[in-house]
Amino acid sequence: MPSYRMHLPIGELLPGRSPHDVMEQAALALGTLHVVEKQDVEAPLIGDRRVGRAVLRFAVEATTRGDEDAAARHALAVVIDHLEGTAGRIAPESALQLTRGAAGRFRPIPLG
């Protein structure tokens, strides 16, 4: 089963929500579609500032490369939609990333 990572930049939070809620809600939404393998937090330098991101690694049922990537993109869209209604906005979009693991390395795949 191929493994993917979604890197979700934490933007404006809904009132009463915290970055922890973003991770929790993202894992909840993703878990309805795929097995969540790992959750982590990172703060890479994007442009000239650090951006906090929730990172979720997940497995997609093995089929064809195109179908697997499409399933990962669909999962990302579902998670973002869920987060916007429960925890906050994913921003900046320039920090949003979806990667696919192969031979021990994760490489970005196109979002659209």
Angle, helix 19-31 to helix 65-86, in steps of 10 degrees:
140
Residue pLDDT, tens place only, 69-99: 999 999 999 999 999 999 999 999 999 999 9
Structure-token pair, residue 38: 């790992």
CA 60 – CA 71 distance, rounded (Å): 7
The pLDDT of residue 67 is 97
Apex 108 CA angle, 54 and 89, nearest 5: 35
Domain boundaries, given as residue ranges, for the chain: 3-48+63-103
- For the cut 90, the answer to whether the pLDDT of residue 104 exceeds it is no
Share of the chain above pLDDT 90, in %: 85
Residue showing tokens 């500032």: 49
DSSP states along 44-82: -EETTEE--EEEEEEE---S-HHHHHHHHHHHHHHHHHH
The pLDDT of residue 35 is 95
Residue pLDDT, tens place only, 13-69: 999 999 999 999 999 999 999 999 999 998 888 888 889 999 999 999 999 999 999
